[in-house]
Structure 1
Amino acid sequence: MADKDEHVLVLDFLEHGHPNDRDDRVAQGIGKDNYTLLEVVMREDERPKGGEELYIGEGDRPRVEFIKRRIDYDDLTGSAQSELKYVLQELISDKEDEFVEFFNEATPVTPRRHAFELLPGIGTKHMRALLDEREKNDFESFEDIKERVPSIPDPEKTIRDRVRNELKGETKNKLFVH
């Protein structure tokens, strides 16, 4: 995993800036690798749409003037908060292999608690079922997890909800947001 995100997915674009800071044309976005929430200042003629990918890495940024700041979930506009669900859904779907790897490699986070139990809707019973199935064979996909552990909540939605909870600051341990 990279230290800094090189790409963000746009959650909202404020063409006239924030109501109390009308200087900058900013886009609020989420980093593709670390799920960092950022505001970036757009170049003059750029008007990005929700879900659009922007390059923010080193060197020439054709559409982004500069990264303004890292932001918290509460700094997101209402539109950005609404868009987040859909953008996360797309990100998680695109990175299914990485999240399935989490299900294959997750370990206890404390002597009494497994990483699985930090996922919304996953308790001791589901954790044991996941561990039993994983012992037989690695999971291949979200669909494979659902078929082999039918009682588990939808793994894709569970991951999305966990990432959103981490972004909101509602969790003590971070599994996905860096």
Structure 2
Amino acid sequence: MSDSESGGGIEAVVLDVLPHGRSDDDRPRYQKEPLAFATGIEDFRLYEIVLDEDADVSFGDRIDVTDRSFQRVDEVEYEDLPSGAQSELEYAVEDLVEAEAERFVDFFNEAQPITLRLHQLNLLPGIGKKLRNTILDERKRQPFESFEDLEERVGGLHSPREVLVERILEELREDDLKYRIFVREEDQE
């Protein structure tokens, strides 16, 4: 879903809610702000959201991070997420890839060369030159219609969903990747 489809906002999935703030915050409990952590649906950016005391936000909710009812929304890095949010991130990414399968199958249909020697498909774990060429040949014949179609037509490509999830998680966890396909950084607009 694009920003325009969600009414101009940025839709995200809640990974974790800390109603009493972070455990490593040494302030008295009454001074801690309730927090939620979320990942963007479109670009997988990670957010820390300061909630109002009466906010009705829970794990797994889809929210608009531009909603004015939140006190503050900050982009954060993977290592800034509390352990609960880090462990839920993989499941959330798997669910998003499943829920938006058409978008991710289209990636296999539309991926392009990055340089003369490197293709976007080669950035996916386990896809080398031979597998990349098989994918390119098959999509010339007919675009892929589903993950199952992709698996059937491209021998050697097992679990394309898992390959995508692995790449998205790598982009979220690693700061020093040269190329990013799915996770948009702050300065990439």
TM-score where L is the length of structure 2: 0.84
C-alpha displacement at 1:50, in angstroms? 2.3
> 2:85 and 2:9 mapped to 1: Cα distance?
19
What are the residue-to-residue correspondences of 1:25-36 with 2, within 5 Å? 25-36=34-45
* Percent identity over paired residues: 37
Unaligned runs of 5+ in 1: none
> 1:88 and 1:5 mapped to 2: Cα distance?
20
> 1:2 and 1:47 mapped to 2: Cα distance?
23
What is the alpha-carbon root mean square deviation over aligned residues?
1.9
Distance change >3 Å, CA 12–CA 6, structure 1 → 2: same
C-alpha displacement at 1:47, in angstroms? 5.3
More strand by share: 1
Q: Counterpart in 2 of 1:16? A: 20
1:26–1:42: 8 Å Cα contact kept in structure 2?
A: yes
2:3–2:11: 8 Å Cα contact kept in structure 1?
A: no
3-state secondary structure, aligned to 2:114: strand
> 1:5 and 1:32 mapped to 2: Cα distance?
11
2:19–2:35: 8 Å Cα contact kept in structure 1?
A: yes
1:116-142 CA deviation, whole Å, 9 max, x = no partner? Answer: 110011111110110111111000011
C-alpha displacement at 1:45, in angstroms? 2.3
Q: Counterpart in 2 of 1:53? A: 62
1:122-173 CA deviation, whole Å, 9 max, x = no partner? Answer: 1111101101111110000111101101311311111111111001125320
1:104–1:138: 8 Å Cα contact kept in structure 2?
A: yes
1:24-67 CA deviation, whole Å, 9 max, x = no partner? Answer: 11101101111110001112123533222122235x44xx3331
Unaligned runs of 5+ in 2: 185-189
22-31 or 69-78, which deviates more:
22-31
> 1:57 and 1:6 mapped to 2: Cα distance?
6
